[in-house]
Amino acid sequence: MQLYNSATHQKEEFVPHVAGKVSMYTCGPTVYHFAHIGNLRTYMMEDVLEKYLRYAGYDVTRVMNITDVGHLSSDADEGEDKMLKGARREHKTVMEIAKYYTDAFFADCAKLNVKTPDIVQPATGCIPEYIHLVETLIEKGYAYVAGGNVYFDTSKLEKYYIFNDFEEEDLAVGVREGVEADDNKRNRADFVLWFTKSKFDDQELKWESPWGIGYPGWHIECSGICMKYLGEHLDIHCGGIDNAFPHHTNEIAQSEAYIGHPWCKHWFHVLHLNTTSGKMSKSKGEFLTVSLLEEKGYDPMVYRFFCMQSHYRRSLVFSWENMDNAATAYNKLISRIAALKPDSGEPVDEAVFASVREGFVKAMDNDLNTSLAVTALYDVLKAKTNDATKLALIADFDSVLSLGLLDRAAALRDKQAAESAAAAAAREAELAAAAADPFVAEILQLIEERKAAKKAKNFAEADRIRDYLASRNVTLIDSSQGTTYKIGE
Ligand code: AMP
Ligand code: ZN
C-alpha cells in the first residue's frame, strides 16, 4: 500500500515495524466543546485508514488520547487553557465538561460509523508517565527548568522542524497579536513540558511533581500515552494538518530525545474542512455539528459520503449546496442497492467478485483514494453479474467505507413494502365502501375514467370529471401513490 508520509513529503510503500502488525496513534479531541464536522472529517478519514489496514490483513492496535488538560488556545504555550475556558462558559467543573463532551464526541462518532479505537486514554490518567518522561529529558540534557516551568531545549536537536521548512523568524513567539513572549525560553521554539507557574490562578487540575505543583503541557501527553501503550516504535501517527506544527513536531522532539532512536515511521495528516468563509474552528464558537446536520434533516451518513468523495490530502469546502448534492447522490445509490434482491439464493460469482474488488483495492492502495473507492461502488452496480455477487461486493467495500449502505437499503425496502401494503389496504377499504354505497362506487368509477383520460392525454375530459365531482362536493387528491378522494369540506 502506498501512503503519503508527511515526514518525508512523499508517497511511500507502507511497511510496519513488525510484519503483519500495525501500531497506530491518533490525537484525540480537546473536550471543551462539541466536535465540529471538520474535526469529524479527520476522525472519519483516520477511521477509514484503520479499517483499510485491517481489511488488508494487518493486526492493528489503535490508541487515542482525550485531551482534558494542558491544551492552550494558541497550540503553543500561550493563551488560555481551553478546558478552563469551557468550564467557565458553562459554570461547571473541568471534569464535568470533560465527561460531557467526551460522551458527546463518541455519540457523534457512532452516528458517523467511526469505530472507537482499541484504547482511549484521557490525558489526566497518565501523570506519573509524563513526570517520568520529563525527568529523563532533564537527565539527558534535553530539558531545563526556568521560572518554575520545565522546557524542552530545541537547540539540542540536529533537526527540529520535520514537516515543513519553517522560517524560524516566522514562528517567533511574541510577534503574533495577543500572545506574549515567554522570557524563560532559551530558544524561541522551546516548549513547555510541565507548567508550575500557572498563568491561571483558577487552574483546577494540578498535581505534585519534582518541580512543584503543576500540570503537563499538551504535547507531552501524546508522547506519554503513545509510548505507554504502543512502545518505542510507532507505525502511524495521525491528526489534522494543524497538528503537524507545533504539536507533532514537539512530540517527535521529546519522544526521540527520550528513547534515543527514531520513533514514528509514518505521519498521516488530514487536510481541513473549510466553510466558504474560511476554516471551521471550535475556538471561534461558531461551527457546525452532527446534531445540527440532523436538525436540518440530513442523515449523518450523507456527510460521511460527502467526505469519502474527496481525498484526505485536499482541503474540502463545506456548503449546504454541496450537502444537498451529496444527499441526492447518496439516496440514489441507496435506491439502486435496495433494488437488488437480497435473498435470491444465487451463488456469488467468485471470478467477478475478485475482478471488481481489484478496482477498489487499487484505489485504496493508492494513498487511500476513497473518491475512486466510491466510484468502484458504481462499477459494482454496473457489473454484468447476479445480485448476490453485487451485494457481496458492496458489503465488502462498505466494511471499509462504512457508509451504512446495506442497512439503509434494507430500511428503504421495508419502507417501500410498508407503503405498498398501506396503499393496498386503502384500495381494499375503498372497494368495500363502494360495495356498500353506490355514490362511492360512482366516484371510484370516475377516478378510473379520469386516469384513463389523462393517459390518453385527454385533459379536457379529465378536468371535466374533476369539475363534475367538485360540483358534487368531492375533492380529488393526487399523489405518487395514485388518486384518492374526500367527500365534503
Ligand atoms: P481538537 O479537538 O481541536 O484538538 O481537534 C481534533 C482534531 O481535529 C485534530 O486532529 C485537529 O487537527 C482536527 N481539526 C481541527 N480543525 C479541523 C478542520 N477544520 N478540518 C479537519 N480537521 C480539523
Ligand atoms: Zn496529540
Q: What are the φ and ψ backbone dihedral angles of 15, each rounded to 5 degrees?
A: -130, 115
Q: Which atom of ligand 1 is nearest to the CA of 243?
A: 12
C-alpha cell at 342: 437480497
Distance 379 CA to ligand 2 centre (A): 39
Nearest partner of 137 among 193, 59, 79, judged by Cα? 193
Give the span between the Cα atoms of 485 and 479, in whole angstroms: 11
pLDDT at 170: 53
C-alpha cell at 8: 518525508
Distance 248 CA to ligand 1 centre (A): 13
User: What secondary structure letter does DSSP report for 366?
Assistant: B
Please list the rounded mean pLDDT of every run of 10 residues in the chain (489 residues): 96 97 97 95 98 98 92 68 85 92 98 98 96 98 95 94 68 47 88 80 82 91 97 97 93 98 97 85 76 96 98 95 97 98 92 97 98 98 97 98 97 94 89 87 93 95 95 91 85
Give the span between the Cα atoms of 305 and 374, in whole angstroms: 8
Angle at 268 between CA 325 and CA 189, to 5 degrees: 120
Pairing between β-strand 21-26 and β-strand 59-66 as defined by DSSP bridges: parallel
The cell 527548568 sits on which residue? 145
C-alpha cell at 360: 477498489
- Tell me the pTM: 0.87
pLDDT at 164: 75
Give the span between the Cα atoms of 410 and 8, in whole angstroms: 45
Which residue of 33, 47, 82, 242 sits with most ligand 1 atoms within 8 Å of its CB, as the best mutation to test the pocket? Answer: 242
**Count of alpha carbons within 13 angstroms of residue 416, beta-carbon side:** 10
pLDDT at 9: 94
C-beta of residue 256 within 8 angstroms of C-beta of residue 262? yes
C-beta of residue 387 within 8 angstroms of C-beta of residue 395? no
Distance 289 CA to ligand 2 centre (A): 22
pLDDT at 196: 87
pLDDT at 435: 83
pLDDT at 176: 42
pLDDT at 74: 63
Residue 27 in contact with ligand 1 by CB distance below 6 A: yes
User: What secondary structure letter does DSSP report for 80?
Assistant: -
Distance 130 CA to ligand 1 centre (A): 24
As a residue count, the chain comes to 489
C-beta of residue 149 within 8 angstroms of C-beta of residue 95? no
